[in-house]
Amino acid sequence: SQKIEQNSEALNIQEGKTATLTCNYTNYSPAYLQWYRQDPGRGPVFLLLIRENEKEKRKERLKVTFDTTLKQSLFHITASQPADSATYLCALGDSSASKIIFGSGTRLSIRP
């Protein structure tokens, strides 16, 4: 069955450092991958989308890579700030009209 795995442990990073989160998947051929941020008690907020034919996407301090051979995406936050502390979810879709399925998320804490 389709499986999406994210860093199972919470990630604690010193402010100013680069945070790197991992998303691995099996038994799936996604057309695109998305990253969301979720704060406690709130719904996920869309951050970035990267398509299967794209290797890398950037948006301000965020960078996403997508390796369909390794079946892995890496999500980087550079110059991290305490306000970046949240749970980050990766989600995969197999067509523009399809549902997206989520990983379990990685909780990121940035300490001052």
Q: Which of 29, 106, 104 is nearest to 74 (CA)?
A: 106
Task: Select from 27, 53, 99, 112 the one that contacts other proteins (CB under 8 A).
Answer: 99
* Site for other proteins contains 11 (CB under 8 A): no
For residues 80 and 106, which CB has a smaller minimum distance to other proteins in the complex? 106
Map the footprint of other proteins across residues 31-90, applying CB under 8 A.
Answer: 32, 34, 36, 41-47, 49, 89
Burial of 36 (C-beta count, 10 Å sphere; 0-12/13-18/19+): buried
Nearer to other proteins, 19 or 36 (CB): 36
Q: Does 96 bind other proteins (CB under 8 A)?
A: yes
Region binding other proteins by CB under 8 A among candidate stretches 57-65, 69-77, 78-86, 100-108: 100-108
112 counts as binding other proteins under rule CB under 8 A: no
Binding residue (CB under 8 A) for other proteins from 52, 55, 104, 111 = 104
Q: CA 8 to CA 20: how far, in whole Å?
A: 13
CA-based nearest residue to 81, from 107, 57, 44, 108: 108
The answer to whether residue 30 forms part of the interface with other proteins (CB under 8 A) is no
Which class for 75: exposed (0-12), middle (13-18), buried (19 or more C-beta within 10 A)? buried
